[in-house]
Amino acid sequence: MNIIDIAEENARRENASVILEIELDIGLQAGVVMESLDFAIESAKLGTMLEKARWVINKIPALSRCASCRQEYEPRDWLSPCPYCQNPFSEVLQGRELRVKSLQVE
């Protein structure tokens, strides 16, 4: 299911006819190219409940926790070792999000 389908399904559930605003959380390591997303939104929203909606995109920075020293850090990319101990293994705490956070409907 895509973002527009999710938004419209939730708006219909609230008996709304138009979506005024959609807020997205997108992690910087979610694999989304923001420029491509902007282009896709412009064409995909035509003829939908989101056609005139304001789009708010929250960019969520990456955050990892080292599996060895347990320090938290912002990795440069998903292959970055821990900057404290150089361990290559870590747990991703945030940065892969891709979700509809909120909708304002009418």
CATH topology of domain 3-105: hypothetical protein PF0899 fold (3.30.2320)
Quick: pLDDT tens for 65-106: 999 999 999 998 878 899 999 999 999 999 999 999 999 999
- C-alpha distances (whole Å) from 63 to each of 15, 26, 86, 103 are 38, 13, 16, 26
What pLDDT, in 10s, does the model give residues 9-26?
Answer: 999 999 999 999 999 999
Phi, psi (deg, nearest 5) at residue 98: -155, 90
For 54, the token pair is 């304001």
**Identity at 35, one-letter amino acid code:** E
Q: What is the pLDDT of residues 24-56, one digit of tens each?
A: 999 999 999 999 999 999 999 999 999 999 999
Q: Is the pLDDT at 1 greater than 90, yes or no?
A: no
Sorted by where each begins, the domain ranges of the chain are 3-105
Give the C-alpha separation, 3 to 38, whole Å. 13
CA distance to 46, 49, 92, per residue, from 39 (Å): 12, 18, 29
Only one residue has tokens 């895509």, namely: 2
